Amino acid sequence: MATRADSRPGGAPPAVVPGVAAVVYTRAGCAPCAATVRAMARHGLPVRQVPLDEQTGAEEIEAFKAAGLVSVPVVVTETATWSGFRPDLIRTLAHNQHTESQARATAPAAQHGPGVPASARAAGLGI
């Protein structure tokens, strides 16, 4: 089965990085890049910044251009990719991340059987 990263044009890097809400591709001196990273930090979104330059980011730059992403920053999340400073999309990402975190925190613990405590099963009490 192809993953989202496998289907990216030009073999661009994967979007999903454990523990990170977004990968933000930036360039030195880019005001919209800095604004994007600051806005994500304000919303409590952990990001991984990847600097793009002609030597180290040439493949990514070409892949992003081929996908129609012609300005920096390029933001890649698990479900979306966009370019430029987009406070509306950052707010949506933050809302979705916080909603998912709350859902995980309030989800009931997994049941290992109807009314049988895990400790009883672990002790071999065939209850």
> 13: domain CATH number?
3.40.30.10
Across all residues in the chain, what is the average pLDDT? 78
Q: Rank 6-10, 87-91, 95-99 by mean pLDDT and report only the highest.
A: 87-91
110 found inside a domain: no
107 found inside a domain: no
118 found inside a domain: no
Residue bearing the bigger pLDDT, 79 or 73: 73
**Average of pLDDT values for 68-95?**
94
Tens digits of residue pLDDT in 50-60: 999 877 788 88
Instruction: Provide the edge-to-edge strand list for the sheet that holds 74-76.
Output: 47-51, 22-26, 74-76, 81-83
For residue 4, the model assigns a pLDDT of 32
119 found inside a domain: no
Longest dimension (CA), the chain: 66
* pTM (global) more than 0.85: no
For residue 120, the model assigns a pLDDT of 55
Tens digits of residue pLDDT in 1-33: 222 333 344 444 555 567 888 999 999 999 999
Range of the domain at 15: 9-102
113 found inside a domain: no
- Domains in the chain, number: 1
Phi, psi of 23 (to 5 degrees): -105, 125
DSSP letter at 124 equals T
